[in-house]
Amino acid sequence: MSNDHPQNDLKTEADFHLGALLRKGGVENLESVVRIKEAEARMFQTKADEVKREAEGFRRMIRTKTAQMEEEYAEKVGKLCLHEAEETRRKKSEGLNFFEISHYDYYKWG
């Protein structure tokens, strides 16, 4: 018959402990347990809030570093483009000088 309704025959460990507390005049003990659990909950909430603040600090640092890296990248690309433009100008100037000298020599000897 005990196999027909095993939940009637067996109590959970929590039920056993609750029953033991109440048998020992444990309303005060139960209230004490509740206060302890509430204190634990506040402690864990405080720790969770602290971790959230720390995570937000990391997010701000990442955003700042990312913006700084993007700015440095744009500056380097700008300098690279400037160097390329200066090199192109230098080559065209050399070519123009060559043609000017050739033109001068042509009319000088011609």
Q: What is the pLDDT of residues 5-53, one digit of tens each?
A: 544 444 566 666 666 666 666 667 778 888 899 999 999 999 999 999 9
pLDDT at 7: 46
Confidence bin at 2 (pLDDT 50/70/90): very low
Our measurement of the distance from residue 109's CA atom to the centroid of its chain's CA atoms, rounded to an integer in Å, reads 74
Tokens of 109: 């000897």
Statement: residue 100 has pLDDT above 90: no
Over residues 74-98, the mean pLDDT reads: 87
What is the spatial distance between Cα 76 and Cα 79, in angstroms, rounded to a whole number?
A: 5
Q: Which amino acid is at 104?
A: Y
Q: What are phi and psi of 51, to 5 degrees?
A: -65, -40
Rounded to two decimals, what is the model's pTM?
0.47
Selected residue with higher pLDDT from 41 and 102: 41
How many other CB atoms sit within 10 Å of the CB of residue 66? 10
Q: Which amino acid is at 110?
A: G
